[in-house]
Amino acid sequence: MINTVIFDLDGVLVSTDELHYEAWKRLADELGISGFTKADNERQRGVSRLESLEVVLEKSDKTYSLEEKYALGEKKNAYYRESLKNADSSIVLPGAVETLKLLRNRGIKVGVGSASKNTPEILEKTGLIGLVDKVSCGLDTDKGKPEPDVFLIAAKKLGSAPCQCLVVEDSKAGVEAAKRAGMHSLGVGPYGRTLGAEACAPDLASGIDWRELCG
Ligand code: B16
Ligand code: MG
């Protein structure tokens, strides 16, 4: 029986996915890489910063050393953090607060499992930190999704077995990570139906039947 729900952050609880795109686009433009598109950005959902950079560099004819790649990742992160400076509860996606409250009221354990190293700051700024029990993020492991680590760490912190966990994700890499972790999955967002999850919904505000999902 499912007694734990682990939420992805970007694109599930908050709308920072667009800010990631803008920061990568700014970096791509600076590097003279033309044609970095929203479709490229879709492949960056849920994956680590360095792997996201590789998606950008696919369109470059220049070769970068690992050191240079880390520096470029830092640069993008500085742009991203600039856009987060004034972030507040307005970036929380519809239905997120109500869902977190409802689940906790029903005695379901609630966690966050995000690849982002900026997770603690975003949860603080949006006030979501007070609505979740445990957080696992890119600061806990360097292994990005589709590796299962970030979700397994969340389950461990919550004291739940993987088979008792349901992961809510907006990315293919994230749903794959949930499967590799031996967890159940719910796909949300514009591509929710195409992610290969066990169930899907357009967003957290669309009347998801949590009683049915969590048994
Ligand atoms: P950062 P999620 C992921 O967050 C983003 O979807 C992905 O685009 C980003 O590259 C990754 O976090 C790392 O983020 O550069 O802030 O450490 O969807 O797993 O919540
Ligand atoms: Mg996401």
pLDDT of residue 94: 96
Residues present in the chain in total? 215
Ligand 1 pocket, residue 114 CB under 6 Å: yes
pLDDT of residue 190: 87
pLDDT of residue 71: 98
Ligand 1 pocket, residue 126 CB under 6 Å: no
Ligand 1 pocket, residue 165 CB under 6 Å: no
Q: Which of 20, 41, 80, 142 to mutate to test the pocket of ligand 1 (most atoms within 8 A of CB)?
A: 20
pLDDT of residue 102: 96
pTM attached to this predicted model: 0.94
Ligand 1 pocket, residue 149 CB under 6 Å: no
Cβ contacts of 177-186, under 8 Å, gap ≥ 24: 177/46, 177/145, 177/146, 177/147, 177/148, 177/150, 177/151, 178/148, 178/151, 180/146, 180/147, 180/148, 181/148, 181/151, 181/152, 181/155, 182/148, 183/6, 183/151, 183/155, 184/2, 186/213
Percent of the chain with pLDDT over 90: 87
Q: Is 10 a catalytic residue?
A: yes
Asked which of 149-153, 155-159, 192-196 is least confident by mean pLDDT, the reply is 192-196
pLDDT of residue 178: 98
User: Is the Cα dihedral 188, 193, 198, 199 positive or negative?
Assistant: positive
Tens-digit pLDDT profile for residues 27-38: 999 999 988 999
pLDDT of residue 46: 86
10 Cα: distance to centroid of ligand 1 (angstroms): 7
